[in-house]
């Protein structure tokens, strides 16, 4: 299932890129791109996105362990 927010942004980006360079963007297009009125949680709720921050935490922890293990391995094998 496609992410509706991502699809919307792709369509918006394509529409903006399709314009000629001399064309002036409308205020609505500018507001859509640089909108700071809605928080991330409100945007997620609007588009039905469910975030899982524990996955990012898990990935960063495992990645850190792997990187530091490799660094330690190379240091102790060289010495």
Q: What is the pTM of this model?
A: 0.44
Q: What is the mean predicted confidence (pLDDT) over 10-20?
A: 71
Q: What is the pLDDT of residues 34-66, one digit of tens each?
A: 666 667 777 777 777 888 889 999 999 999 999
> 3: closest CA among 43, 40, 36, 47?
47
Max mean pLDDT among 26-30, 47-51, 69-73 falls in 69-73
**Contacts for 25 with CB less than 8 Å, ≥ 6 apart:** 16, 19
């Amino acid at each position: 299932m496609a992410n509706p927010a991502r699809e919307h942004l792709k369509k918006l980006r394509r529409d903006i890129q399709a314009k000629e360079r001399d064309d002036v963007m409308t205020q609505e297009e500018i507001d859509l791109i640089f909108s700071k009125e809605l928080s991330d949680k409100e945007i997620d709720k609007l588009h039905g996105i469910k975030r899982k921050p524990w996955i990012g935490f898990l990935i960063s922890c495992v990645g850190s362990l792997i990187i530091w293990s490799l660094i330690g391995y190379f240091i102790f094998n060289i010495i």
